[in-house]
Amino acid sequence: MFEATAQNRSNRKVEGLFRLLFLWMTCMLILPVALILGVLVYRGGPAISWEFLFTQPLDNMTAGGILPALVGTVWLVVVALIASVPVGVAAALYLSEYAPDNRLTRAINLAIINLAGVPSIVHALFGLGAFVIFFRFGTSILAASLTLAVMTLPVVIVATRESLQTVPLAFREACWNMGATRWQTIRKIVLPNAISGILTGVILEVSRTSGETAPIMFTGAAAFIPFLPQGVLDQTMAMSLHLFVISTQVPDVPEHMPFGVALVLISMVLAMNGLSIAFRVYLRGRKKW
Amino acid sequence: MSLPVQVGETADYAIEVEDLAIGYHGKPALTGVTLQVPTHEIFGIIGPANSGKTSFLRAINRMDLMTAGMEVSGSVRVEGRDVRSWRNPYALRQRIGVVFPLPVGLPLTIYDNVALSSRLRGTRKKADLDVIVERCLRRAALWDEVKDRLDSLGSLLSGGQQQRLTIARALSQDPSILLLDEFSIAVDPVTTMRIEEVLAELKSEMTIVLVTNLVQQARRLASRTAFFLTGELVEVTETETMFEGGAQDPRTTAYVEGKFG
């Protein structure tokens, strides 16, 4: 009665093949990530200790800890966030809630996406010219963080705009029809429902910012400074640059040290990403419509 | 010099529309509409999909300002005053309550949904808000069902309850005009009847424009009914006359008798 035709059988065979192909590709994707993590834990793990995390580097960075680099990275990320989040969120609000849908808006959106594609070394040179030299901030945390902020602004804008657009238009229309202004609608309805998505974007920005090397090399990070930064106009060490320096510029560094630095850096990023996933799960659990 | 005041004429009509045309991105959606809606009356608008009914409502409370590409020409007067002469369209919209086809419970608590409009206007006192929320929920025939859970989310109520919530929210604006756009599309028949009873009571306090896809609903509620067809106003007639076969245009008779649409 229900005989499979030749076409049915062939469809089924093709289905199986594609499934296998996609599965294989996914495994190929996981493999390098797992390898990197495995090697880092295996070779860098022994380097990690209380002392490694919380003391100064010694003997031309061949011994001791990474405290100034760790603190420096936190400074750089925090100042970059302070600079980029308000601007990015405001720009996204304008583009998503206020701007008319015309050629200019589309051009601005395109420019933002292009900005995300600019190589980080180009941002570095821009930061050097603009913040270090033109604004006379010197090589400092301020100059480096502003460079990072400019570089990650597109990430914040795009993430914010996307989370704003997950709030249904019907909610806005309902508010507008009650006589609410656009700003009242944003404050009462749109932002409260988009905030978790915006935070997710911010955390992704943090994880990206903390690993960048090129933009801070010319603008504020130094290879070796034996004390912690006291303010935004100081130079600082940073994890990413520290890793670069002890891997390539300093002779006789014990092998476990660069792996240890890399492990700490990647742990920071993973912790941040974990946090952002937790936010998203929380958001889904609290979904209000 | 004082302008000539036509008290006698303007006060009788809540909405006067003259030669109204609406288009989107240059494509006409509604043309040449002239009609008057008397105060304290339920005014029905019927017509098949894409006849311009919703666009008509949007022109009354100046939603064209919030809609990209929507163009309005002709004149719309609300309580005798051209809507385009309101320098503050937000004040105009506060006087006009709107209910949508699909119930839009905002992602706030039931209480906050109904208190929102008052809060937007600057009412902060809890005691005042409590009074407004209870009064509006009662009038929308929802109070008894939700009085014990005012802190739960309005967007999670059932469709029929959400629609009554949006009516309560619209009433909280203390509107002089209520625009209903096919409110019963997502509502069960029993709730529809309850809302219809509410509307019949509200008539004494406000003017109601009822756009509906159910011709019998217009017959039950509206004193006069307009028939819109493919972007044109075919006619405005006393509802009873229209349904008793006295329509001026044969297309109207055909539509109300269910022969097309």
- A101-119 per-position pLDDT tens digit: 889 999 999 999 888 889 9
Residues A17 and A83 in one domain: no
**3-state secondary structure labels for all residues of A220-257:** CECCCCCCCCCCCCCCECCHHHHHHHHHHCCCCCCCHH
pLDDT of residue B258: 87
- B157-182 per-position pLDDT tens digit: 998 999 999 999 999 999 999 999 99
Residues A78 and A24 in one domain: no
CA-wise closest residue to B255 among B237, B147, A118? B237
- B178-215 per-position pLDDT tens digit: 999 999 998 899 999 999 999 999 999 999 999 998 99
pLDDT of residue A70: 92
Q: Which residues pair with B42 in a beta bridge?
A: B208
Half-sphere exposure of B113 (CA within 13 A, CB side): 34
Residue A117 lies in a domain: yes
CB neighbours of residue A28 within 10 Å: 9
pLDDT of residue B4: 45
Residues A39 and A108 in one domain: no
Residue A10 lies in a domain: yes
Cα A233-A238-A242 angle, rounded to 5 deg: 135
- The rounded distance, in Å, linking the Cα atoms of A105 and B45 is 38
Residue A1 lies in a domain: no
Residue A32 lies in a domain: yes
* pLDDT of B114 strictly over 90: yes
**A98 in reach of chain B (CB within 8 A):** no
Looking at CA atoms only, how far is residue B202 from chain A in angstroms?
18
Residues A37 and A75 in one domain: no
Work out the average pLDDT over B35-55: 93
Element (H, E) at B110: helix B110-120
Residue A111 lies in a domain: yes
pLDDT of residue B177: 95
Residues A106 and A244 in one domain: yes
Residue A261 lies in a domain: yes
* pLDDT of B1 strictly over 50: no
Contacts of A189 in chain B (CB under 8 A): 106-108
pLDDT of residue B212: 93
Residues A15 and A139 in one domain: no
The CATH number covering residue A253 comes to 1.10.3720.10
Question: Which residue segment(s) compose the domain that A33 sits in?
Answer: 6-47
Residues A242 and A261 in one domain: yes
Residues A31 and A56 in one domain: no
Residue A145 lies in a domain: yes
| Last-in-domain residue among A32, A47, A62 | A47
Residues A135 and A261 in one domain: yes
Residues A104 and A118 in one domain: yes
- B4-26 per-position pLDDT tens digit: 444 444 458 999 999 999 999 99
Residue A258 lies in a domain: yes
Burial class, A2, CB count within 10 angstroms (exposed 0-12 / middle 13-18 / buried 19+) = exposed
* pLDDT of B143 strictly over 70: yes
Work out the average pLDDT over B228-255: 92
Contacts of B171 in chain A (CB under 8 A): none
Looking at CA atoms only, how far is residue B5 from chain A in angstroms?
28
pLDDT of residue A227: 85
Contacts of B118 in chain A (CB under 8 A): none
Q: Provide the mean pLDDT of chain B.
A: 91
Residues A43 and A63 in one domain: no
* Residues in chain A where the model's pLDDT stays below 70: 1, 285-289
pLDDT of residue A289: 64
Q: Do A288 and B155 touch (CB under 8 A)?
A: yes
**A193 in reach of chain B (CB within 8 A):** yes
pLDDT of residue B261: 63
CA-wise closest residue to B54 among B22, B84, B27? B22
Domain count, chain A: 2
* pLDDT of B3 strictly over 60: no
pLDDT of residue A199: 86
Half-sphere exposure of A38 (CA within 13 A, CB side): 6
- A2-27 per-position pLDDT tens digit: 788 999 999 999 999 999 999 999 99
Q: A196 by DSSP, 3-state: which?
A: helix
Residues A59 and A36 in one domain: no
